[in-house]
Amino acid sequence: MTNDTDRKRDVATAFGGAADGYLEGDVLKRGGDLEQLVDWCRDASCVLDVATGAGHVAGALAETGVSRAVAADLSPEMVATATTEYGGLEGAVVDAEGLPFATDRFDAVTCRFAAHHFPAPEAFLAEVERVLAPGGVLAFEDLCVPDDPGLAEYVNRLERLRDSSHVESYSRRQWLDWLAETGLTAEDVRETSRRLEVDAWLDRMDVPDDDRQRIRSLLADAPAELEDAFDFQYELGGEETRLTSYRTGVVLYRATA
């Protein structure tokens, strides 16, 4: 068994146990970003949501009246949660890097806040390109990191300490390079950010105390460029200055086949 296969099995197990939290959690349930992804697919009738989680994107797509919406995820529990919660969805337990669908099958594919779990994102893009009909749309969103490799690694270290299923977040530039190599054309690319409340962000993954301490130490020692780029916000209480929140990078793009 390869390391990637082991890793994917662990990811499916970890997310399987977290399906209810992903269904109810406000962070993913709604937002302007979700509306943007759905809007980018407005002309589609047959759509695939890869790494659907609790199905928020697939459900929103189904509500637009598409003729077929497939909610696909590595975790069977996530697929069951998505198809139970949202009407009109077809569920599929699939690996994003080996999609079991025919060539040219869909006219839109979405993928939101999941690619940082994929060991081989280029393989995922190649599969998206294959299952999209000519002119079909990929509407994508994920965490992203600064171009500077040192800062990027710093952010990924923090993310991995918080969540062992985090493989890597990439820069906007890296995604554009991969799109070009795959033959998908980037039509609209946006780099934005999302404010994270540090305690709530750690609570969501139930991070043990010793890892919390390590993450807080890493944040306290973060390079000044990162502190600026991520807009660290502090609370002054007594003798302690506590980091309360920061803005993490996010990339969204619409690309066509």
Q: Which residues bind ligand SAM (CB under 6 A)?
A: 8, 11-12, 15, 22, 28, 51-54, 56-57, 73-75, 78, 95-97, 112-114, 117-118
Minimum CB distance to ligand SAM, residue 115 (Å): 8
Instruction: For the chain, state the CA radius of gyration.
Output: 18
- Helix (H) / strand (E) containing 12: helix 3-16
* Pair of tokens at residue 111: 């993928």
Cβ proximity to ligand SAM, 75 vs 156, nearer residue:
75
Q: Report how far apart, in Å, the C-alpha atoms of 183 and of each of 44, 112, 114, 164, 243 are.
A: 20, 21, 21, 32, 42
Cβ proximity to ligand SAM, 5 vs 185, nearer residue:
5
- How far apart are the two ends of the chain, measured CA to CA in Å? 33
Cβ proximity to ligand SAM, 232 vs 254, nearer residue:
254
Beta bridge partners of 68: 46
Minimum CB distance to ligand SAM, residue 84 (Å): 15
| Chain centre to alpha carbon of residue 235 | 29
Cβ proximity to ligand SAM, 11 vs 226, nearer residue:
11
Cβ atoms of residues 151 and 169 within 8 Å: no
Cβ proximity to ligand SAM, 121 vs 136, nearer residue:
121
Minimum CB distance to ligand SAM, residue 25 (Å): 9
Minimum CB distance to ligand SAM, residue 117 (Å): 4
Minimum CB distance to ligand SAM, residue 148 (Å): 25
* CA nearest to 51, candidates 110, 120, 122: 110
The letter for the amino acid at 249 is G
Minimum CB distance to ligand SAM, residue 10 (Å): 10
Cβ proximity to ligand SAM, 59 vs 146, nearer residue:
59
Beta bridge partners of 144: 170
Cβ atoms of residues 125 and 179 within 8 Å: yes
Nearest position to ligand SAM, beta carbon = 53
